[in-house]
Every structure is written in structure tokens, then in C-alpha cells.
Chain A
Amino acid sequence: MTTETTNPATDSDQKAKEAYFTASQGQLIWARFKKQRSAMIAAWVLIGLLISGIFASFLSPYDPTVAGRDKDYLNGAPQLPQFCDGNGCSLRPFIHPVERERSLATNFRWVTKVNEDKRVYFTFMPKGWDYKLFGLIPMDRHLFGVEEGYVHLFGTDATGKDIYSRTLHAIWTSMQVGTIGVVIAFVLALIIGGISGYYGGWIDSFIQMITDAVRTVPAIPLFMAIAAFIPQEWSAETRFFIISMILGLIGWPTLARRVRTHLLTERNQEYVLAAQLCGASPGHVIRRHLLPSFTSYIIVDLVISFPYMVLSETALSFIGLGLKDPVNSLGVMLQSVTSADVLLNYQWYFIPVIFFIALVMAFVFVGDGLRDAADPYSDSHK
């Protein structure tokens, strides 16, 4: 026996086995999750987007609201940082400034022209508009800017607002809306699904009847109906919270159904009976025994339902019933793109779309990977 343990191969085998059997639920899920390449890539994309959302104010050179507008560069094309031009190369990136001109030659209309001979260099960590990091620490430093004038990586919109800055803030808004919506939907789903699944019998049938009825109503038309009742004069921030709440209030049935199904299968297990025999109250049994038994499933459900909240918000804002201007979201930014003018001439309005597809895809892939990872039998399927 002792001679065998000295064999390095069996030794490490033994260790791996031991690690496997003593690993917590979280460690097992993480180990399985790591094996999925697409989910890992999606997770990194998600983390990147999350960070750029959190540090949106720091990363964006200009205020995303009207306050930060560049009134000399309306509907301006994206300006890419360059290292080389006709006059040679430089290590420090620069852009060619644009100049506005109005003269006899331009028929007395304002015409913008790129000045190829002049260079405006990028500066790093310059002072800019004031903001609060994490909503707490007042700061005025930004990641980058230019020596003079403005730089617009993704161009500007009709009022001269920097699309790059707006996109970063919009990502953050979407995440907030999604989080608030998911949390509200989740709490409702836990209460309703919990009661339904725990008590069963006629209470379950009754609640399921209502849940099913609510589920058959198409959600977006219903969102629209409720969102239309928000008075127009409410401030953008109030609208933001109300819209997130509406998303949550309508999103619960699917989650509630899943919670109920989990509960129905778990509540007949012996450990629940044991707890009940010990005199535990229903609330205690639900909270301390039943919920932990499928926490991982619930987390997966939350991640999966997140992108639908974001998409619903985008759709609502897009048709003008959701968020309103000072608050940035993809829907708000896309409100004007249906016009032929934008479609034909200002295609950079669509740049934020790429980020949002990436955001939603990342969530879907991570959710999918988590679902596979959280399923203890997923290994045996393959």
C-alpha cells in the first residue's frame, strides 16, 4: 500500500479525486464552466463591458448629455486616432482637426472640412467635465482627450453629442435597468412561485391559472400599454425607475413557474419532512432548506432572463415610450435612425448597436454556459 502512494501518477489522481469529492457546489460549477470556451470568451466580454459601464464617466471624454455637446460638429463622422499621415509618423496618436467655414465658395452654408496639415495630439488623463466615480468620489480626470477642440471616436449625433460617450453610459443604463427589472421579477417570482410550489393543491392550481393567463398576454404590447400611462412631465430619472419596475412587474411569470417546478420536486424529499417534523415553520423550510437546494438554477435563470429585460427596455425606448433623453440607452440613441436621412448619410449612428449585440450575446452565452455547468449530470450526457 505505502509503495503505491509513492507513485506520482496515482498520487495526483488521488488528490484530484479528493478535490472533486470535497469541492463545494460553487467550485464544481466553476470547474465545469471553465471548460467551455465560448462561455469563457463571453464571460470576458461581459466583464469588459461591465467595467466600461462602471467607469463610463472616466472613459468618456465628454459629458453624454447636452452639456457636453460639440456645437461645431453636428452629425459629425467618427474620427479615428492616427499614427501616420502625409507629414510623417508619430508615436503619439493624433487626429486632423475639422474646421467650419462659411464663405462665397461654399454658397454661404456652413461646411466642415478636415484640415490635413494640422495635427491635434491625444492627451491622457486630462482634466474634463466633473463627475462622480461610483456616484461618490468627485473627479474631473478622464482617460483621454485632445489638446484642443474635441475628438469623437464614434462621431456625433444631430445635436453634437459624442456618440462614444453616450454608448458607454448607455451600457451602464441598460445594466441598471436589467438589474432592477430582474431583481423585482425575481422577488415576485420567489414569493408567488414559492407559495404555489410549497402548498400545492388548490392554491397551486389557482396561482398557476393566473400565472398562465398573465403569460399568454404578449409582453411588449402590455409594456407599451402600461408605459403609456406614465405622465410625460415626469423627470427622466423617475421614468427610469418606473420603467425598470414595469419590466420587473411583467417579467415574473416565467421565473415563478420555474421556482414552482423546482419546489414541487424538492418538497417531497426526506430532508424537508425531517425539518417539518422538527417543528420548522413553512417560511423557515422554504428559506433555509428549499431555496438553497436550487440556488444555482435560480442564478442561471436570472442570467438568462437578463438580456430580455435589456431588449424590452430598448424596444420601449425606441418607440418613445421608455426612457427619455438625458438618460442614455440604446433605444433612446436609436430613436432617430429610422429617418432616410440617417440611413443614407449618418451610418455611424449604428455603432452602439454592435456593443449591444455583444452585451446581449455575452449574457446569453454566459447564461447557457452556466446552465450546463450548474447541471450536475451535464458531464454524463456527453
Chain B
Amino acid sequence: MLGFMRFVATRAAMALVTLVIVSLVVFSLMELVPGDCAERYLAFKNTQGSGISVADIEAERVRLGLDRPFLERWASWLVNAFRGDFGDSCILRLNISQLLGDKFWLSLSICLASLLLAYAIALPVGIIAAASHNTVLNNVLRFVSYLGLAMPNFLLALIIMLISTVYFGDTLTGLFSDHYRDAPWSWGKFVDMLSHAWLPVFILGWSATAFALQTVRALMSDEIGKLYVTAASARGVHGRKLLWRYPARHALGPIINSLGFDLNRIFNELPIVALILTLTEAGSLLIEALARSNDQQLAGAIIFMLTASIVTLNFATDVLLAVLDPRVRKSIIR
């Protein structure tokens, strides 16, 4: 038990270090954007008719604490970020945590749902594909999963929208009906969201499914050829029982390990799909922050939070793997 606790603590520390490095990268990027908050505020005042001078900008910088050294500002940003406070966006002049709020959790749940969908499809199909010697089935699956890799998600979204507009006359955009958009959370709103969310979940899950299918199939066909499977089938275990209890359990480890990167891949697609389907969630907020206004505070916050959720998932899968896999568990406790 002590060994296990130590393992969890080490992994948590590694996750923290990763986050600190990421925050340094993100914060440096935010700093690289031409123009800082002081200039932005005063430029806004300038448009309101009051004249400004260089001294004014300097004074504003001191007021906002922008004159402090880089490392000091980074440290305070990082500490605040861990508390969930990303400060204000200079362009929108709103608190970022408020602005993101539900939207971030909403997009995170959509992404997690598509990850779930991907594996719900990929696990059974991948195992069947690996077990069967049907070349036609295997080639079709290979082609479909390559198509999943080759066809960017936004194209899939566009094509689905094209079909739905041409044949059903419905554009399928948005995450809520007009009726519920600004309403407080309720069961009705939740159901309404589910009736809209299946499309982004499906589109985001599409390429993740393709990747997962490849992984599952490759791992399973590696394991199926091994001697312990032959031994088990010689003892009379066969069919589904053989597949699930022997090779599938061995293949599970690497699959759990790759979950974090699958989430990463889904996040990659999120902003673009969100833009096409005009969902008001973190992804399209990111595009707005970057493309329309160069809002570095908001962009930095979103990238940091996305990365933080990947790091958290990686940490969780590491621990889960140690719990599930006796080989990993033994190697820790020893």
C-alpha cells in the first residue's frame, strides 16, 4: 500500500511539473503578442476621445503590475491559474473564469463523450477484426479507419450539414434550441442539449474511433498469436470467452495508456467543429479570442485548461493501469 501511495505521489508530482512547463510555454506565447493590457486599455480610452501619452501607458502598466519581471508575473499567473482564476480579458474586459464557466465543462463533457463513443465502437469491432480471418472485412475496416484519419473532421461536419440541409431542411447547428439558450439548467434543458449534442459527439468521435480501431486491432492481433492463447484454446476455452479473458486483458494496458493522447486529438478538432456547428463553447471562444481580437489572456487560459485536462486524464489512466494490471502493480510495490 505504501508503495502504491508513493507511486501515486510521484505521478502527481510529474503531472504538476508537466503543467508548470506547459504554463511557461503558454505564458511566454501570451507575452510574445504585440501590445499588452495597458496599451489595450488606453487605446480604448483613446477611441473614447481622451488623449493619452506614453507616461499614461507607463502608469497603467505599473497599476496592472506589468512592470514586474517576467518570471514573477509568470509565477503569479501560474498560482492563480491553479486556483482557477485567470484574471481579466483585456479586450472583453470580463473575468475569464466567468466567461468560460460552464462553457469549458460543457465542451470537456462533449469531448469525453466522444472518447467514450470511440472506444465503445472500437473495442468490439477491433477485437472482432483481429480475431476473424475474413480478408474482405479486414480490408473494409482498414479503408474505413484510414478514411477516418484522412478526412478532416470539419469536412465530415460540412458533409453532414450539406446532406441535412439539402434533404431535411435543417441546419443542425447550435447546442441548444432558442427556447433554452439562456434558461437556467433544468432537466428540460439537459434533454434539449442531448438532442443537439449527438452531432458534435459523433463528428469529434469519428477520427478518434478510426485511431482507436487501429490501435485495438494491432494490439489484439499481436496478442492473439501468442502461446498462452493457444494454450487456453487447447484447454477448451473458445469463442468470446477466450477473446475477452485472455488477449483482450493483455491488450487493455496500452489502450488505457493511449487515452490521454486520444483526448488530445479530440481537442485538436474541437475548435474547428465548434466553429462550423456554431456551438458557443470553449473551442469557438478560442477561435474568437484568437482570430477576431488577439485576446491573449483568454486564449492562454483555454489552452492551459485543455492541457490540464489531458494531464489529469494521463495521471488518472496511470493510476488506473496500476490498479488494473497486476504486472504494473507488482513492479511498483516491489
- Chain A residues with CB under 8 Å of chain B are 38, 209-210, 212-222, 224-229, 231, 307, 311, 314-315, 318-321, 334, 337-338, 340, 343-344, 347, 350, 353, 357, 360-361, 364-365, 368
Given contacts A229-B34, A361-B146, contact A221 B152 (CB under 8 A): no
Given contacts A216-B264, A318-B154, A338-B276, contact A221 B291 (CB under 8 A): no
- The one of B162, B299, B311 that contacts A225, using a Cβ cutoff of 8 Å: B299
In angstroms, Cα B260 to Cα A227, docked, is: 25
Contacts of A307 in B (CB 8 A): 149-150
Contacts of B216 in A (CB 8 A): none
- Inter-chain contact A221/B18, CB cutoff 8 Å: no
Contacts of B287 in A (CB 8 A): 224, 319
Contacts of A209 in B (CB 8 A): 17-18, 21
CB distance from B247 to the nearest CB of A (A): 16
- Chain B residues with CB under 8 Å of chain A are 17-18, 21-22, 25-26, 29, 32-34, 139, 146-147, 149-152, 154-155, 158-159, 161-162, 165-166, 171, 260, 264, 267-272, 275-276, 286-287, 290-291, 294, 299-300, 302-303, 306-307, 310-311, 314
- Inter-chain contact B152/A314, CB cutoff 8 Å: yes
- Inter-chain contact A217/B33, CB cutoff 8 Å: no
- Inter-chain contact A343/B162, CB cutoff 8 Å: yes
Contacts of B300 in A (CB 8 A): 225
Contacts of B311 in A (CB 8 A): 216
CB distance from B257 to the nearest CB of A (A): 13
In angstroms, Cα B63 to Cα A156, docked, is: 55
Contacts of B29 in A (CB 8 A): 225-226
Given contacts A337-B158, A344-B166, contact A210 B149 (CB under 8 A): no
Given contacts A218-B303, A340-B165, contact A224 B150 (CB under 8 A): no
- Inter-chain contact A219/B268, CB cutoff 8 Å: yes
In angstroms, Cα B260 to Cα A294, docked, is: 29
- The one of B268, B269, B291, B302 that contacts A228, using a Cβ cutoff of 8 Å: B291
- The one of B150, B269, B275, B294 that contacts A357, using a Cβ cutoff of 8 Å: B150
- Inter-chain contact A319/B299, CB cutoff 8 Å: no
- Inter-chain contact A320/B271, CB cutoff 8 Å: no
- Inter-chain contact B149/A364, CB cutoff 8 Å: yes
CB distance from B6 to the nearest CB of A (A): 19
Residue pairs across A and B with Cβ atoms less than 8 A apart, 16 shown, are A209-B21, A212-B18, A216-B260, A218-B307, A220-B269, A220-B272, A221-B271, A221-B303, A224-B291, A229-B294, A307-B149, A319-B291, A320-B291, A343-B158, A344-B165, A360-B149
CB distance from B154 to the nearest CB of A (A): 6
Q: A217-B307, A218-B268, A357-B155 are in contact. List 10 more A-B contacts (CB 8 A).
A: A210-B21, A216-B22, A216-B314, A217-B25, A218-B267, A220-B272, A224-B286, A225-B299, A225-B300, A357-B151
CB distance from B312 to the nearest CB of A (A): 10
Contacts of A221 in B (CB 8 A): 267-268, 270-271, 286, 299, 302-303, 306
CB distance from A314 to the nearest CB of B (A): 6
In angstroms, Cα B20 to Cα A209, docked, is: 11
- Inter-chain contact B307/A319, CB cutoff 8 Å: no
Contacts of B303 in A (CB 8 A): 217-218, 221-222, 225
In angstroms, Cα B300 to Cα A85, docked, is: 61
Contacts of A222 in B (CB 8 A): 303
Contacts of A321 in B (CB 8 A): 290-291
Given contacts A229-B33, A319-B271, contact A213 B151 (CB under 8 A): no
Contacts of B294 in A (CB 8 A): 228-229
In angstroms, Cα B162 to Cα A344, docked, is: 7
- Inter-chain contact A220/B162, CB cutoff 8 Å: no
Q: Select from chain B the residue with minimum beta-carbon distance to A359.
A: B150
In angstroms, Cα B300 to Cα A365, docked, is: 37
Q: Select from chain B the residue with minimum beta-carbon distance to A363.
A: B150
Q: Select from chain A the residue with minimum beta-carbon distance to B289.
A: A228
